Structure 1
Amino acid sequence: MSAALYLAAGFCAGLGYFYAVWRSALLFAQGGAVAAAGLTLARLALLGGLLALASRHGALALLLTALGVLAARPLVLRRYRVAA
């Protein structure tokens, strides 16, 4: 797989991961602690699985995937920013 695909896979996973963080926070604030915990476990398992899979393809693949995840964070934060 090419470097761009690892980066893109990480970026897509990051979008989903940080959206799930936002959604978990909303669920927890609304009293849905069980649903929030389930969503938290699911997002951690999926991201961990993706990073473990990338690590099987080498250090560069793992680093590019992690970079893609981190690159998605500011976009999700900007999109779901709530006035405090």
Structure 2
Amino acid sequence: MENDLLGKLDIEILKQLATEQLVEIIIEEGEIIEKLKVSRDLVRIRLWKALLGSILKKTENKQQENQEENQIPKRKLGGQAGIGEKRERSLVE
């Protein structure tokens, strides 16, 4: 109806309007509110999808890093190679 005038309406003007006009204004406002609720919900869904997508990417990157670390051969425990053999020989002699 008169969406431009709705923002400018004050109490005195609303009192002068007929009941039918007031009902039309209320119905239009209700429709606008419903549209805003739907758009708000869509925005929330998009934000959650974006957030979950970034979290999934981070976990995938961590898994790839862990796989790369597992492929690198690690040093054996026990210090320098061959020292244990020398120590054993000296104890035997």
Q: Normalized against structure 1, the TM-score is what? A: 0.36
Higher RCO structure, 1 or 2 (CA under 8 Å, sep 6+) = 1
Structure with greater proportional helix content: 1
